[in-house]
Chains A and B, each alone.
Chain A
Amino acid sequence: MTTLTMFRRELSSYFSSPVAYIVILAFLGVTHWLFFRTFFLISQSSLRPFFALLPWIFLFLAPALTMRAWAEEKKLGTLEVLMTFPVRERDAVLAKFLAAFAFLAITLCLTLSLPLTVLIVGSPDPGPIWGGYLGACLMGGAYLAIGLFASSLTENQIVAFILAIVLCFALLVIGEDVVLFSMPAALVPACSWLGLGAHFESIGRGVVDSRDILYYLTVTGFFLFLNQLALESRKWR
């Protein structure tokens, strides 16, 4: 129940700050512009160009959403109030994550204008569209977990933002072909599995493989666990 209370506060705090609206507008502006810019030229009724961009757009969107989460609590000192309520760190982390995730889901809903347009002008294959949105949620969750972890390491939102971008970027490019190519062969399978993007692509093809889902849930869970440890670290310092 406390998790629910905290989730509600977190979500409404997104909407009471102008940052969230700016982030939404920027996200919608960029995605719509990049999509429609080529949509009528290629005259291909698919959302693939939109989904192909998402891993790169999330690279900035997710850290912008999460940078405030813990950094501000630390800076204002409200973390001390929060952590002396009868709440476990784990539940607090979960509440923050779910709120960020809900916000991201709302943002993704606002891009439904894209599939609607495609549906009106053509007859796309629905599989990749459903898969793309499912993948976007899963991948977005992983990005947000990384962003929350970065935010829990510092009092400074800008540091949290940049650290989150660096971490997400590292985990994204590690699975890119260019990087894999220059790597010792022994590391290639592991790194290509670790990459954030490849699993999204395979879900985005409309093939929902439980291994890809498991991958995102593992990454999300791992960084949320690190986040919990970072919160608890005040106890062993």
Chain B
Amino acid sequence: MIDVTSISKSYGSTRAVRDISFHVAKGEVLGFLGPNGAGKSTTIRILTCFIPSDSGSASVAGFDVNSAAIEVRRRIGYLPENNPLYMEMGVLEYLRFVAGMRAIAPQQRSQSVRRVVELCGLGPMAAKTIGELSKGFRQRLGLAQALIHDPPILVLDEPTIGLDPHQIIGMRSLIRDIGREKTVILSSHILPEVSATCDRVLIMSKGRIAGTGTPAELAAMARSGQELLVSIRADRESVEAALRDLPFMTSVTHLAETGGLHRYSLRCESCEDAGERIFRAAVDNGWSLAELQRTAINLEEVFLDLTTREAPR
């Protein structure tokens, strides 16, 4: 549905997107994940034909974003970052305007407006002016705007930014429902968001794709290594040396010391009996082991891992 081949885009001397390629299958929900400034919005703007890329090519539904921009725009529903709206317009007035801009036939506009009002739960707000809406309803209106022409592809840039937790849950379930029928690209810098809504995640960092996979794969990638927290009352140097000698250990980090009790964070390769062997090492060396805890590395840490990793070159 969407094919992107090594696109790059610079703003002056800032290289916002560097040589990105990816593919989105029909019906897939793809998440762009990355910190602010990673190039998510720039990539989205290239796909929605708001700005062209400097190099590389991208096609949406078989149409090139540069040579057939109007055709591409027809097939995309787009909710830009910060959801810009005309505050002085009425909700229905705005949706009718969008329906007109989407070239929906005049006699079908009311029906299209009714459909998205119902789909996005805007019914109670229909008589209001946009400026009077709460942030959550404004976001729903933005989504309604993007859906009014029933596009096969939906692009949402930070769709839950600035919403309260309750509204976020509502928005996510709405996106999941829509994702059953449509190809969706959404961007976010919040991990639970993409893992809750997306089939596949592209992690972006400094204009590059730093990693890709399903939320489950990313979690598995994270679990392949594990972290143990131990507190040991013994001489720090000999403990560290002995722990490092263990064959499965990748790193030993001293965290804190309280009254002779040292706390360490241990990173190990995947090893089922790591805890047991550390316990045995403690017994053998006569350390007193006050704590031994296994922490599951969550996606948040993968994200940090991936996006802080130095890019090759």
Contact = CB atoms under 8 A, between A and B. Distances in A.
Interface in B34-61: 45, 48-52
A86 interface: yes
Contacts of A83: 50
Interface of B: 11, 45, 48-52, 70-71, 73-74, 76, 78, 80-82, 84-89, 97-98, 100-103, 145
In terms of DSSP, what is the predominant structure of the interface of chain B? loop
A67 to B, nearest CB: 16
Contacts of A82: 101
A5 B49 contact: no
A6 B101 contact: yes
Contacts of B78: 81, 84
The interface centre, meaning the residue of A2, A4, A84 with most chain B CB atoms within 10 A of its CB, is: A84
Interface stretch (A37-45, A72-80, A169-177, A202-210): A72-80
A5 B95 CA distance: 12
A32 interface: no
23 contacts: A2-B101, A9-B97, A13-B86, A17-B88, A76-B86, A78-B84, A78-B85, A78-B86, A81-B80, A81-B145, A83-B50, A84-B48, A84-B50, A84-B73, A84-B78, A84-B80, A85-B73, A85-B102, A86-B70, A86-B71, A86-B103, A88-B70, A234-B50
Interface string A58-81: 000000000000000000111011
A143 B70 CA distance: 31
Contact of B51 (A76, A87, A234): A234
Q: How large is the interface on A (under 10, 10 to 19, 20 to 34, 35 or more residues)?
A: 20 to 34
Nearest to A83: B50
A4 to B, nearest CB: 8
B86 A80 contact: no
Interface in A1-28: 1-2, 4-6, 8-9, 13, 16-17
A211 interface: no
Contact of A235 (B48, B51, B76, B80): B51
A86 B88 contact: no
Interface string A78-112: 10111111111000000000000000000000000
Nearest to A92: B101
A17 B131 CA distance: 13
A9 B45 CA distance: 25
Interface string A196-237: 000000000000000000000000000000000000001101
Contact of B101 (A5, A77, A234): A5
Contacts of A6: 100-101
